[in-house]
């Protein structure tokens, strides 16, 4: 993310600001002069705006996406040792939140086509101790929610949706994050809806869960110094909320731009021996990441190095599945436990997409074609 000096950076955070500098300067100056830096009116305004956008009644802003997952799990009233199923091909946040709260992460494999956890992956891991599943909509593509919700209802388990990479994506015309018991997101600068620092939110249709989450995020209190729960301090700063109110007005345009860029990549790469993202009819993919699959890790690493030599930055999401991370070694997983996730880690490569110009994209496509011609 910090490779600003290359010709095509993977992500250039300065563009978040420069694209709308005048409006953002106004928004920032207003918060600075008003002085309500914590819980200012923009925080509630943003929560309402996001609730309207998602078509959900309750949005609770919080400090970041990892806190959002922790708050969601805390609100469900789970007990030490209860099992929560999480996809192993993922950023560490979901499994980390589960472990941090004394619950047991139970890893599951994912679909080789869209990288997401499926009802079948989940079903294989359900035991009498399973209380919840965290469905992560990876890279902006929707997991297949109808079978997942049917399975969860059958087994009476909670569904937490992590839309940190998929805010604005849709499943059968409805926004992701609104199907399960609770939705969680992050506003980290690389996300679809981004602030200029850390931020996150939790959303739900369940009023009593929403009340509890609000309290948990505010030291477990509703009234000042009257603490009903052991909570945490997890707030979205007023400044970030004000920025997000503005950024939310740009979200659909930004997603449409990324969809167009993804289509251009698809066209430019389709005749190569490379797997491009699979199009599922039920999803509006927001392309938070555009990930391709190479034949094997050797070819992936060669392409990455070749593009770097031509001043084009790429990223590997993810080089290691969660179940093989040292942090989870006490859980006893081993190589071979989740073959799809392990295979994906060796083959996946994310190409730049956010803030990319067509000229930059054509340059990338030309270089990938040249690489494949000589491979
Ligand atoms: C899928 C997913 N979930 C959760 C998070 C955590 O968000 P944050 O960095 O705001 O804590 C991330 C961040 O990259 C993520 O990609």
Q: pLDDT for 153-174, tens place per residue? A: 999 999 999 999 999 999 999 9
Q: Give dist(CA 293, CA 310) in Å, integer.
A: 20
Question: The CATH number of 14-108+116-245 is which of 3.40.50.1820, 1.10.287.470, 3.40.50.300, 3.40.640.10?
Answer: 3.40.640.10
Q: Which atom of ligand 1 is nearest to 93's Cα?
A: 4
- Cα 67 to Cα 86, 160, 201, 232: the distances in Å are 16, 13, 9, 9
> Ligand 1 centroid to 187 CA: how many Å?
8
Residue 4 has pLDDT above 60, yes or no: no
Q: Give dist(CA 43, CA 46) in Å, integer.
A: 5
Kindly state the average pLDDT of the residues 350-374: 95
Residue 371 has pLDDT above 70, yes or no: yes
Kindly state the average pLDDT of the residues 229-239: 98
DSSP-assigned states of every residue in 216-266: HTBTTEEETTEESS---B----HHHHHHHHHHHHHHHHHHHHHHHHHHHHH
- Cα 1 to Cα 8, 66, 94, 238: the distances in Å are 11, 19, 22, 25
- Lining residues, ligand 1, CB within 6 Å: 64-66, 91, 93, 136, 162, 164-165, 186, 188, 198, 200
> What backbone torsions phi and psi does residue 114 show, to the nearest 5 degrees?
-115, 10
Greatest C-alpha distance within the chain:
68
Cis peptide bond N-terminal to 23, omega within 30: no
* DSSP SS3 for 27: helix
Q: Smallest Cα–Cα separation from 27: which of 195, 145, 265, 213?
A: 195
* Count of beta carbons in the 10 Å neighbourhood of residue 133: 30
Kindly state the average pLDDT of the residues 258-285: 96
Q: Which two tokens stand for residue 221?
A: 């209190």
Q: Whose CA is nearest to atom 3 of ligand 1?
A: 164
Confidence of residue 5 (pLDDT cuts 50, 70, 90): low
Residue 369 · residue 272 · CB < 8 Å:
yes
Kindly state the average pLDDT of the residues 360-368: 97
Kindly state the average pLDDT of the residues 233-255: 98
Q: Whose CA is nearest to atom 2 of ligand 1?
A: 164
Q: Tell me where in the chain the CATH 3.90.1150.10 domain(s) lie.
A: 250-374
Q: Give dist(CA 176, CA 146) in Å, integer.
A: 12
> Ligand 1 centroid to 65 CA: how many Å?
5
Q: Which two tokens stand for residue 105?
A: 């992460």
Q: Give dist(CA 292, CA 311) in Å, integer.
A: 19
Kindly state the average pLDDT of the residues 36-48: 98
Q: Tell me where in the chain the CATH 3.40.640.10 domain(s) lie.
A: 14-108+116-245
* CATH code that applies to domain 250-374: 3.90.1150.10
The rounded percent of the chain whose pLDDT value lies above 70 is 99
Q: What is the mean pLDDT of the chain?
A: 96
Residue 2 has pLDDT above 70, yes or no: no
β-pair partners for 336: none
Q: Give dist(CA 201, CA 10) in Å, integer.
A: 25
Confidence of residue 74 (pLDDT cuts 50, 70, 90): very high
Candidate of 105, 186, 194 to mutate for ligand 1, largest count of ligand atoms within 8 Å of Cβ: 186
Q: pLDDT for 85-126, tens place per residue? A: 999 999 999 999 999 999 999 999 999 999 999 999 999 999
């Amino acid at each position: 993310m910090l490779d600003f000096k290359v010709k095509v950076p993977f992500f250039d955070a300065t563009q978040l600001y420069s694209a709308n500098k005048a409006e953002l300067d106004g928004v920032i100056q207003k918060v600075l002069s008003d002085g309500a830096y914590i819980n200012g009116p923009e925080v509630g305004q943003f929560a309402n705006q996001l609730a309207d956008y998602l078509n959900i009644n309750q949005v609770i802003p919080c400090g970041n996406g990892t806190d959002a997952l922790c708050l969601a799990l805390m609100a469900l009233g789970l007990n030490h040792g209860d099992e929560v199923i999480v996809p192993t091909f993922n950023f560490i946040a979901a499994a980390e939140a589960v472990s941090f709260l004394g619950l047991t992460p139970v890893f599951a494999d994912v679909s080789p086509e869209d990288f997401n956890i499926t009802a079948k992956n989940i079903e294989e891991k359900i035991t009498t101790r399973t209380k919840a599943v965290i469905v992560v909509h990876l890279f902006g593509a929707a997991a297949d929610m109808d079978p997942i919700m049917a399975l969860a209802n059958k087994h009476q388990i909670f569904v937490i949706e992590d839309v940190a990479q998929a805010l604005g994506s849709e499943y059968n015309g409805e926004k992701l994050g609104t199907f399960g018991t609770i939705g969680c997101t992050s506003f980290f600068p690389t996300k679809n809806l981004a602030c200029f620092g850390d931020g996150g939110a939790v959303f739900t249709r369940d009023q009593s869960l929403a009340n509890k989450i609000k309290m948990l995020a505010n030291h477990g209190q509703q009234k000042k110094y009257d603490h009903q729960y052991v909570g945490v301090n997890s707030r979205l700063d007023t400044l970030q909320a004000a920025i997000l109110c503005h950024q939310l007005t740009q979200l659909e345009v930004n997603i449409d731009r990324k969809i167009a860029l993804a289509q251009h990549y698809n066209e430019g790469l389709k005749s190569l021996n490379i797997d491009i993202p699979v199009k599922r009819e039920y999803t509006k993919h927001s392309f938070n990441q555009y990930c391709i699959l190479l034949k094997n890790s050797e070819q992936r690493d060669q392409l990455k190095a070749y593009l770097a030599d031509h001043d084009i930055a790429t990223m590997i999401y993810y080089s290691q599945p969660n179940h093989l991370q040292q942090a989870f070694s006490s859980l006893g997983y081993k190589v071979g436990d989740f073959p799809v996730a392990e295979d994906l880690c060796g083959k996946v490569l994310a190409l730049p997409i956010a803030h990319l110009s067509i000229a930059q994209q054509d340059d990338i496509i030309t270089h990938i074609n040249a690489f494949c011609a000589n491979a």
